[in-house]
A and B are shown apart, each in its own frame.
Chain A
Amino acid sequence: MANTQLPPADPEPSLNRVDGRLKVTGAATYSAEYPIDNLAHAVLITSTIAKGRITTINAKPAEAAPGVLAVISHRNTPGVPAYPPVKQPAERAPVGTAFRVFYDELIYFSGQPVALVVAQTLEQAQQAASLVEIDYQTETHQTDFVANRSKAAIAANVQRNKTSPFQDYDRGDPDAMPSAEVKMEATYTIPTQHHQPLEPHAIIAVWEADDKLTVYDKNQGVKSAQGNLAQAFKLPRENVKVNAQFIGGAFGSGIRVWPHTVAAVLAAKQVRRPVKLVLGRELMFTSVGYRPFTEQKIAMGATKTGILTAIRHEGIGQTSAYEEHLERTILATRAMYACLNVSTRYRLLNLDVNTPTWMRGPGDATGMFALESALDELAFALQLDPLELRLRNHADADPERNLPWSAKSLKECYRMGSEQFGWKNRKPEPRSMQVDGMLVGYGMASSLYGFHRHPSKAKAMMQADGSVVVQSATMDIGPGTGTAMTQIAARILGVSPQKVRFDLGDSSLPDAPGQNGSATIPSVGSAVHDACKALKNKLLILGASMPGSILSSAWPDEIVIRNGRIYPTAESRSSVSYTDILKYHKLPQVEMTEESKSGPERDQYSMYSFGCHFVEVQVSPVTGEVRVKRVVTCADVGKIINYKTARSQSIGGVVGGIGMALMEESVMDHRYGRYVTSDFASYHIPVHADIPQIEVFFVDQPDVHVNPIGAKGLGEIAIVGVAAAVANAVFHATGKRVRELPITVDKLV
């Protein structure tokens, strides 16, 4: 990649968000907002203890309260058909069992749903919920990671699966570490962090018939939600309809079907009415997963010239007592740098908490915080520029799989980023730069994120009036999926984007994966590409078959389509339009559905997105307050479909990373096994004043090996590494290495 110039900020004017107007005018309908007749309202009651059992539930006063339709708990639940019969006496579910809502009297975590009050109005349900009296018998709980660390073990499901990537991993020479010329070792901790999207999770459950269910549910995958609910309620898949057209952010919190969703469906069954359940902010801390508390130990060995000779990376992640949540924490270390001798270990610690889930850049954001901090520490020990250390250890091929990269322009990212940032102005000594009495620090970190592409289908339809409808059961949790897909379709079909409508978020549409793993553009984008291409070809054939058609002798490669008109060559004056073709054939519409998926290239190449972040912080030597002053972020994610939405994604990732680095922390009082940060006054996320200018650059070169559109994922890589870049900048500013996120005042004074 010898692109020495900076790519233009936006090679063609980006399409504005197709649903932007709907969103900013409030016209977009979110899950809780569907106007459904005869709607009843539910309020969830959750356990106040972390472990034990419910001894009594006195629902009488609540049941007698005005407007109350039902108080549902394990004692009177209509039951989830897929749950096994309850044992008498109740037995704790073995590890590996998804949480079963209102199943028995056992309590697994504080905040566990124990009852649901359904009433005519929300206010009545809230009032009645305050009248439900629940008594518990407590058992000793364990929620404290640090106190229980020694119990961490290889996950049972890794033990069973010999090919699991989470098996202990060793490559190269085990003696490389002891004999290294320069060594470092340190432990890094990230606290529990919550997604907390602006829109809380919400569902409206409607039983259309005894065996027909419709839900308007906030989630990140209508198809998987459909499958899950169908299985839970033993319904034919097609009898379950899941609608999630607009999502007000999720960051991973909507990847699973959570207990509250099942609870609302149960309630709707019980009261024989549609039921709405919206989680309050405090319930969002215990109902929809989180980024798990994780401790990592990294040891590194290098030559005096800064060539990595050994890396050992051990991670312990927290999970619940009933499920094993694994994440990529230690995996990036095997692929990121050219180091011959690498060992990784991954352990899980079961605690009496709810199960974590994927949160933006799952595992990688965590792991790269440790790896990239450690590299900075090593650079300091070597008296070497941190960027130079990374360049010296650049992996030209995947050192883990011994495969060529499908494409990698990380060096180009380093070059662009460092130039734009002015990295050369960094004085190497910590605490050596100051402005207006503030300590100034420059920090950087690399990032990577694996390429994911899942089988996806899309249907493309040309209508008689020349407008196009493209459909796929994909999602848009915020990145602008509809916009990007519209753009892909419009480009291939040669129509204006205004002529294209893209439908998503509905389980009756063609199969697509949920929106996670930064897989949407690579997967669904490819399907849209293929479907539109097939549609175009079909229309060209139909066009060529018209008597005397100018297309009958045209070369497919030379055909040019502009604004829905097809020209045999770029120079042709005469053309035929899509509308002409459909009209001639008397067709109301022409449609094509295509499935797109990976092929053998997955075994021939190693596929990742790469990037880097450069951060300037200022730290007050008086108060210890850290403020980020400037961020330059660069990514190589293949072809950029829409600069504007891509830029927004990157900015959002950096904002999330700043939150992760400086403020996000869910604090638990382990005496109670309960969070003390359960609102936005105590769980801090960045506000505008915390966010400086963020400059985003893309390499924007198609990766020709990954898929037909040459585009890789961007959503997650945008956050991966940011926290390390901030922590490294704080070290440079203050000389103080904070290895325990978030970096708050108390850790710097």
Chain B
Amino acid sequence: MKPFEYVRPSTLQEAIDLVVSNPKAQFIAGGTNLIDLMKHGIAAPEKLVDINHLPLKKIEKRDGFLRIGALVLNSEVASHKRVLDKHPLLVQALHAGASGQLRNMATVGGNLLQRTRCPYFYDRAFPCNKRVPGSGCGALGGINRMHAIFGVPVKPNPRSCIAVHPSDLSVALSALEATVWVLGPRGERQIPMADFHRLPNNRPEQDTTLSNGELITAVEIPDAVFPKHVHYLKVRDRASYAFALVSVAAALDIDQNRIKTARLAMGGVAHKPWRLFEAEKMLTGQVASETVFRQAAEVAMQGARAFEHNAYKLSVAPNVIVQALKIAAGLS
């Protein structure tokens, strides 16, 4: 680990100024991802700006929204009364992620910004476009069992990246159409979840649409029309404490068996939480049934492409979509 300076600003503005004024400064929240990256020499901030004392730790009911501060711990979100009542999908997604100990340290903001778990990214002996742009993608012709099937280049180029975003929370937030609130050198802005993470295109080093110095202050979730018919289903290599091979967040607004609104997002399949817009459209107005869910899954899988080791995702993913929908709809 490189020596670094540690500062603890007392206001949001001070924190932002510290990062803006030094391109090698970085915010640190729970540190569960950043410290690991520093140990591996992947992140080497000169200055760590500790935001843990900033006033971003509240969960508040707003008009039409639930606002969760960026520094609320994953475990706090998962045990908050209102979240449990109104947004059980979030709770399920959080419980499917990491371990109890990690969730006690991990913050909401940090969770959205955790970096990929692609092993080539983590080991500096390998090439990786995300770590060293232009060095090549180790996973593309290498071991890619965990990698993306959506949003991947048809023709790989020297800047390709086929990594997936590892966050479970983000998948649920996507399905719930949450908004990310950020404060930066140019003031405050709101970013819809769908636009927060990005596809790699030719800049895989950039995970999100945040600019330097922008601080996540909160996520806002619209009051749920789906407190009942939701499910987060995560397929993984062991029963707990493993990243998703494929996960699905399903939320349905059902009236007398007819689907009024459907929201679907997948994890473990793309460089960002993968919203299944077409499948959602297809489901709207339909009577909930396994057949319909199968059709939706088929629609959802259009455009998916596999690499040498992840073809199984093409078979598992539609099953998981159907199963998550069935459980959400109470058909299973």
Query: Which A residues have a C-beta under 8 Å from some C-beta of B?
Result: 48, 110, 123, 126-127, 130, 282, 437, 622-625, 627, 662-663, 667, 669, 671-672, 674, 676-679, 681-682, 684, 686-690, 744-746, 749
Contact = CB atoms under 8 A, between A and B. Distances in A.
Given A676-B143, A745-B245, A622 B240 contact: no
Contact of A745 (B125, B126, B143, B237): B237
11 contacts: A130-B41, A282-B123, A622-B320, A623-B319, A624-B316, A669-B142, A674-B123, A676-B120, A677-B119, A684-B237, A749-B315
A688 B240 contact: yes
Nearest to A436: B332
Contact of A669 (B41, B99, B126): B126
Interface of B: 1-3, 41, 99, 117, 119-120, 122-123, 125-126, 138, 141-143, 145, 233, 235-243, 245, 309, 312, 315-316, 319-320, 322-323, 332
A130 B2 contact: yes
Contacts of A676: 119-120, 123, 126, 142-143
Contacts of A623: 233, 235, 316, 319-320, 323
Contacts of B238: 662-663, 684, 686-687, 689-690
B238 to A, nearest CB: 5
A678 B123 contact: yes
Contacts of B312: 624, 745-746, 749
A437 B332 contact: yes
Nearest to A130: B41
A689 B240 contact: yes
B126 A681 contact: no
B319 to A, nearest CB: 5
B145 A746 contact: yes
B143 A667 contact: yes
Contacts of A746: 145, 309, 312
Contact of B142 (A624, A625, A671, A687): A671
B44 to A, nearest CB: 9
Contacts of A123: 1, 3
B233 to A, nearest CB: 8
A686 B198 CA distance: 33
Interface class of chain A by DSSP: loop
Given A623-B316, A672-B125, A745-B245, A663 B237 contact: yes
Contacts of A667: 143, 145
A690 B238 CA distance: 7
Given A684-B242, A689-B238, A745 B316 contact: yes
A682 B126 CA distance: 16
A262 B293 CA distance: 62
A681 B39 CA distance: 15
B235 A745 contact: yes
Contacts of B123: 282, 674, 676, 678
Contacts of A671: 141-142
Contacts of B117: 681-682
A26 B74 CA distance: 29
- Looking at A127, A674, A676, the one whose CB has the most chain B CB atoms below 10 A away is A676
B115 to A, nearest CB: 12
B125 A48 contact: yes
A127 B235 contact: no
A127 B2 contact: yes
A54 to B, nearest CB: 15
Nearest to A129: B41
A618 to B, nearest CB: 11
A679 B99 CA distance: 16
Given A623-B323, A745-B316, A749-B312, A674 B125 contact: yes
Contacts of B332: 437
Contact of B239 (A622, A687, A749): A687
A485 to B, nearest CB: 36
Contacts of B119: 676-678, 682
Nearest to A47: B125
- Looking at B123, B236, B243, the one whose CB has the most chain A CB atoms below 10 A away is B123
Nearest to A670: B142
Contacts of B240: 687-690
B243 A681 contact: yes
Contacts of A663: 237-238
A637 to B, nearest CB: 30
Given A625-B236, A679-B122, 20 more contacts: A123-B1, A123-B3, A623-B233, A624-B316, A667-B143, A669-B126, A669-B142, A669-B143, A672-B125, A672-B126, A674-B125, A676-B120, A676-B123, A676-B126, A682-B119, A687-B99, A688-B240, A689-B240, A745-B237, A745-B245
Contacts of A672: 125-126
The 5 closest A-B pairs by CB, nearest first: A689-B239, A746-B312, A48-B125, A689-B240, A676-B119
A671 B142 CA distance: 8
Contacts of A624: 235, 312, 316
Contacts of B3: 123, 127
B316 A749 contact: yes
Contacts of A126: 1
Contacts of B120: 676
B237 A744 contact: yes
B27 to A, nearest CB: 22
A583 B312 CA distance: 77
A622 B1 contact: no
Contacts of A674: 123, 125-126
Contacts of B239: 627, 687, 689-690
B126 A625 contact: no
A440 to B, nearest CB: 17
